[in-house]
Structure 1
């Protein structure tokens, strides 16, 4: 099982026997638009199925946050419609820093599906490396995946707070949101007391390709992660924090917890404390 796949290896897999080809999910999404579906129509990897973050990879916003985990029944239906086969390979990609693709990777792993990888560098790397694109929408054969929740650890608010005290809780948001200087989306500014800022943008290079395992291991060591220490991550709504979990796995620290509700859930409750400034608090 590998968490990343190169454009060369994916192209070879797509050219292989039909029964062995991976299902490819296009999960392009942007907080301020344009919609990923428009980008998909303009061009996508051959056979890729557009998979919407807001309607497939998350439930409706509410008490659980802005991108709560989808209902397993709904997720199974949507993944089957996308052609995902039980035990079959899946590759996911976006067109930015890999964080939305990491959400899809994490969600499939949470659902008990281990054979899933993120395309290193995403759509930009695919086109830069000279591989063909398509504009025809995919019409996959229905899959038979069985969603079995629990494949990845999920933290609730109390568990996240405890991890910030007794282990290492990483906040994947940009520094200005961590410090409380700005909060453009959620009810309050600041961070979970004790959390350490680890902006998700630090996992990839300027062209969206992931740093090496050694570079990521050095990054997390610099953030204070000790071998064997319990570690988890959160962000604004549980999307970009998935890239922290993926980066930790690449760096040799698998099984990190994800606070799925993240700050959009934490900040809804005025009784939960909020720290501000550069220090964990």
Structure 2
């Protein structure tokens, strides 16, 4: 039987575990064996965010197999509507969601995604960002997700789980948030900041667009740095030791930088935010959650817009 320790005691208990992270304590990344060890001595809340049902089955991926004691918290609970998936969940609705999952502000919480590839990691990073902004601490992402847990041949449970609700009330912090208004000021030069595009190159160059975006292109003055850079070539679902520190240094990311990470809907961008803020430890990194879907739909200035689309847009709106 596990017991619920304080966050400090939890962190101290993990000091003896080989956690893959910037510190020896809990998070921001934890490997499968370390989480297995932690479950024997402490009581972390494990949120399994895998969505959807198994192919040719009425059962969800969670029901087919999950980490013992985990709670099902599908990713879509933390996402906006179809027309703007990156939009923030209203604070009152987010409070209801976290209560229903049994989340409290001071209980150590681990986020588990499938661990399929680099794109899949973005879901865990976005949930981590949401929980951190909600005041939940300490936090960790299971490096490699459920796939890593199963590859380590660790135990799984099957079937549904009914969470024990909490009475948490959140106050969503804007410390790691960039709004459309903030980005407009950065573009206008009235607020400092460097805009980092986490998408694949085709999106940044204007040769592809998200279905919900009004136009292809990127933010004016943006810099291209795709989210997939942080992952090892041999294990594309894992962030390997030393990769983040090396890449941050090689690309000139460091303390004092005012960085804003964006993509199409705040998914890939959450990975860049997580790597730069939580792993590289750069203070002042913010996520623009609505990203290019929100920006383009508002009719704002774009860069790298293909000529024919740009000319049509100019004729219709008089805007670039």
Q: Normalising by structure 2, report the TM-score.
A: 0.76
> What is aligned with 1:136?
159
In the other structure, the counterpart of 1:75 is: 94
CA offset at residue 159 of structure 1? Answer: 1.8
CA shift, 1:68, in A, is 0.9
Asked if the contact 1:88–1:115 (Cα under 8 Å) also holds between the matched residues in 2, the reply is: yes
- Shift in Å, 1:225: 2.4
Q: TM-score, normalised by structure 1?
A: 0.86
1:222-245 deviations in Å (ceiling 9; x for gaps)? 334243111110111112211111
**Residue among 16, 21, 26 paired with 2:43:** 21
Q: Partners of 2:105 and 2:181 in 1: how far apart?
A: 34
* 2:28 aligned partner: 3
- Number of residues of Structure 1 aligned to a counterpart in Structure 2: 267
Q: Which residue is 2:196 aligned to? A: 170
Instruction: Answer whether contact 2:206 2:217 (CA < 8 A) is retained.
Output: yes
Match of 2:287 in 1: 258
- State the superposition RMSD in angstroms: 2.4
Gaps of 5+ in 1: none
Of residues 140-149 and 233-242 in structure 1, the stretch that sits farther from structure 2 once superposed is 140-149
Q: What's the CA shift for 1:151?
A: 5.9
State the structure with more CA Rg: 2
Q: Which has the bigger relative contact order, CA under 8 A and spacing at least 6?
A: 1
User: For residues 72 and 184 of structure 1, what CA distance do their matches in structure 2 show?
Assistant: 26
Q: Which residue, 39, 43, 54 being the options, matches 2:61?
A: 39
1:254 to partner: Cα distance:
3.5
Distance 1:265 1:84, change over 3 A: same
| Residue of structure 2 in register with 1:52 after alignment | 74
